[in-house]
Structure 1
Amino acid sequence: MWSRLAVCACLVGSVAAMCPDDPEVDLCEVDEQETSHSTRNGAWMALLLPLASTRPSLATGLALALAAGSVGVDAVTCGELKTFYKNEQCCGQPTQEVSAPVPGTAACPYSFAKPACSTAEPQTPRDLTAGAVGSMTPKAATLTDDQANFLPLVNVHFHLGAEHKTEAYSDDTDSIAYDAASSGRRLAGNVRPGFMCSKSSLNANQLAPYNFTYCKGDVQVGKSYEIHYVHSSAGMDNNATDDMNADLLADGLGGAANGRGLLNPMIVVQGQIFQIVNGAATVDDMLHGWTVVGHDNSVMYPGSTTGQSHDNEVCSPYSITWHVDKDCHQVSPESFDNLCKQMSEAYGMYADLYPHGSRKLVSSQYVVKSEFVKPLA
């Protein structure tokens, strides 16, 4: 690629590898002075567009700038291009990367910086125990159970411990120990645990270790995991003409937030908490556990994405609907391992076979008021 860029530099630079000051020459060879403006631009595009598919470079920017009239970005003159070329000291330096935006390229209208919690919309996870309060009034509507199930399922992943807190899962022994050891930093190789279902009634046989074949990382008998079933209007569908929103799962939340290039999708996350216990119920399809296991004791509320990268200072920029099952469901280790097997073999997932870290319970000042936490309908 760089050899081609060097050839282009030879064609557009001066013979002495110095930018000429003659305004009639600009970046063209001397024998091209009589070439018409349209022909000259066509030659530029022929040289530069093959390079535009590689890493961002001067060639990419110049190609975009010369195409300004047809793609709607700001118009740019040849003189402005010449000034930019000289200011960036590109003459004789075909491999040098430019440090400033190329004239004529449109600025991105979006900021992807995560907002401070003081300016963000309501966050998740929220305390769902009786009497828990919140301070915020949401701007986004909350989608219902039927509306959530109409959206394609785009991702399934699980967190170590529950990110939410209810009477059924409120043991924070592990998270307190993690936070004390980390002093606010993420411990190398470990993810932050959330709330656990109580183990006080379990015997030694129920807590005996199990060798997981498909699940990776910190997946153990006795521990609890909050599984997130992520639905999004941005989800891919192999057959969009069959009146069905079929599942097409993949690792990560990219498909939920920006699938098919959408920037404002509707997203619903269904959260369900499972404790792995030897001899507990067998669930053949935990990949669709929300509908298979049942969720009679659930609530819905407006919130955000979660995860260990957010806290009570740096918040999530996304507004989404949450449906959370307030019960703790015991499940056999074979069933949980089969979930990972389904994710791996049916959808080629790998990263989400590991548990994600749990976000700290969000301060009451950054979550919705209790009147916006309603029984699932």
Structure 2
Amino acid sequence: MRIIAFFTAFLIPAAAQAQMCQGFGPQTPRDIALAAGANSVTFPRAPEANQMNLCDIHTHTNAEHKGPGFSVSGGTGEHGGWKCNQTDSLTEAELSMPDGSEAFHGVKPGDTIEVHWVYTTCDVTPGPTLNSCFSDACVNPALRVESQVFLVVNDEGAPDFGDFAYDGNISNGLHQPKSLPSGTGDPVVFAGSTTGPSYTQAICSPMQVTWSVRPECMKVSYQSVQQWGAKGNVFGEDHSHGVRQLVTAPELLAPIN
């Protein structure tokens, strides 16, 4: 019944289907609560994150994926996406803007952000953009993205974004974040692509990425996000990026096993 409902809900008119990108592998983002997909392109699942090099960390405002804990529509377009379900229950204090300069732009208390930790099998050092995941000697690596959706709050007692930063951390000879979020449900793992507002259902990403998306939101301190931006980072990140709208066409989605 779940599969039938999925295909019925997302039947695509012939005109729209004619504009859909053809011949590409499975695309991202998606509704992680829906397991069905009809894209036949497969590729090997990337190793676990702790067996790969971290190459990039960046954020999107709002969430690109839709999930059980982030299912409130943020609208359409580059600044659409999905919001955490607790957004409307935040306190006045959690929503207030603290004094001080804004070092990391595009994020304020009450916003939802989706953070992507990008990993590669290449022997590289983390750096700006996804280009840091490749090298002249390694142009076709396996890629993995670990994803957590956060609800940003004005509360210095909330989880600290710095706990999930890189800061030059090496573990077992590999570049790694200091930690990854836990306690937000078992990650949903599936085959997909890169994301971002330059892609649509008509303009697809050619990259092959193993995704691991945690299904529930976690609050994060607004102050800690700003501190991450203020002290600088090897990724050159000083703002939160736009979103790629949800991919709903079954032809562009891999089945989630």
Band of TM-score, shorter chain: 0.7 to 0.9
**In structure 1, what is the equivalent of residue 88 of structure 2?**
200
Matched, 1:369 2:255: yes
**SS of alignment partner, residue 153 of structure 1:** strand
| TM-score normalized by the length of structure 1 | 0.55
Task: Report the AA paired with residue 278 of structure 1.
Answer: N
Comparing both structures, which one devotes a greater share of its residues to helix? 1
Question: Matches of 1:290 and 1:226 in 2, distance apart?
Answer: 18
- How much does 1:117 deviate? 2.3
Q: Which runs of 5+ in 2 are unaligned?
A: 1-19, 167-176
Among candidates 142, 155, 162, match of residue 63 of structure 2: 162
Question: Matches of 1:316 and 1:290 in 2, distance apart?
Answer: 29
Question: Matches of 1:161 and 1:206 in 2, distance apart?
Answer: 18
- How much does 1:132 deviate? 5.0
**In structure 2, what is the equivalent of residue 276 of structure 1?**
152
Deviations 1:89-147 (A, max 9, x none): xxxxxxxxxxxxxxxxxxxxxxxxxxx62210011112112x45321234202235xx3
Question: Matches of 2:239 and 2:80 in 1, distance apart?
Answer: 13
Among candidates 130, 142, 145, match of residue 266 of structure 1: 142
Matched, 1:286 2:164: yes
Comparing both structures, which one devotes a greater share of its residues to strand? 2
Native 8 Å contact 1:212 1:337 kept in 2: no
- How much does 1:155 deviate? 0.7
Question: Matches of 2:192 and 2:101 in 1, distance apart?
Answer: 34
Native 8 Å contact 2:56 2:127 kept in 1: yes
**In structure 2, what is the equivalent of residue 249 of structure 1?**
126
**In structure 2, what is the equivalent of residue 125 of structure 1?**
29
* Percent of pairs with identical residues: 27
**In structure 1, what is the equivalent of residue 225 of structure 2?**
336
Question: Matches of 1:117 and 1:210 in 2, distance apart?
Answer: 45
Deviations 1:156-177 (A, max 9, x none): 00011111111200111x324x
Native 8 Å contact 1:235 1:260 kept in 2: no
Deviations 1:333-360 (A, max 9, x none): 1121233245x1x52x43x221111101
Matched, 1:297 2:198: no
**In structure 2, what is the equivalent of residue 142 of structure 1?**
45
Write the mapping of 1:83-94 to structure 2, written as runs, cut at 5 A. none
- How much does 1:201 deviate? 1.2
- How much does 1:296 deviate? 4.2
Go from structure 1 to structure 2 and tell me whether the alpha carbon gap of 1:268 and 1:197 turns closer, same or farther (over 3 Å shift): same
Question: Matches of 1:192 and 1:327 in 2, distance apart?
Answer: 21
- The structure, 1 or 2, with the larger RCO (C-alpha pairs under 8 Å, 6+ apart) is 2
Native 8 Å contact 2:80 2:245 kept in 1: no
Task: Report the AA paired with residue 317 of structure 1.
Answer: P
Go from structure 1 to structure 2 and tell me whether the alpha carbon gap of 1:215 and 1:229 turns closer, same or farther (over 3 Å shift): farther
Question: Matches of 2:186 and 2:226 in 1, distance apart?
Answer: 25
Task: Report the AA paired with residue 286 of structure 1.
Answer: F
Aligned residue pairs, count:
223
Native 8 Å contact 1:305 1:320 kept in 2: yes
Question: Matches of 2:123 and 2:247 in 1, distance apart?
Answer: 28
Which protein is bigger by CA-based radius of gyration?
A: 1
Deviations 1:286-331 (A, max 9, x none): 3157834325421111110011000001100111111111110001
* RMSD between superposed Cα atoms in Å: 2.2
Question: Matches of 2:100 and 2:203 in 1, distance apart?
Answer: 35
**In structure 2, what is the equivalent of residue 355 of structure 1?**
240
